A and B are shown apart, each in its own frame.
Chain A
Amino acid sequence: AQSVTQLGSHVSVSEGALVLLRCNYSSSVPPYLFWYVQYPNQGLQLLLKYTSAATLVKGINGFEAEFKKSETSFHLTKPSAHMSDAAEYFCAVSGRNEKLTFGTGTRLTIIP
């Protein structure tokens, strides 16, 4: 079985500041990890994914995440926040089958 925990249901950062969204996972097998973004009243869009290749994964819109096995973490970062980054972000994990287990999400607010 696998699970993810997203610390902080709401995160606020100033425009231009570092964005850090936390995700810790639990998995009995080597995990595949994903970050998705959801804008209001829309479906989810994949930001990036880790599939056991490079531990530092770069995604769209300037986001990246680092897989740290020793910390069971897959935190999402962006060096400089933009107003358009305001959205809800979901971390997800999958194991041997095709099902994803999602975290409860983090709502990111950008302060002008």
Chain B
Amino acid sequence: EPEVTQTPSHQVTQMGQEVILRCVPISNHLYFYWYRQILGQKVEFLVSFYNNEISEKSEIFDDQFSVERPDGSNFTLKIRSTKLEDSAMYFCASAMGGETQYFGPGTRLLVL
């Protein structure tokens, strides 16, 4: 069964450093998303991406965040200058365009 994959599974970084989180969505999907989950809290929407552009973003997704689909398979989330409060689990999701978004296993980001 096709699945969304994410790398790395864990990332530790120093405050102020740039991080890139990578995702490989399901191959024939057209819609891509990033969500995050701070430990013990609910899953929060960050950004959606379709047709090579951002279709919606939340207030969390400020100028420090960017997304890119550099080739036909990868979808990346970049945090330019990480802050302590960026520590969270980051989930990538993809959808064909219908109802179901399929989530990856997540990247646990720890900012020290």
Q: Do A and B come from one complex?
A: no
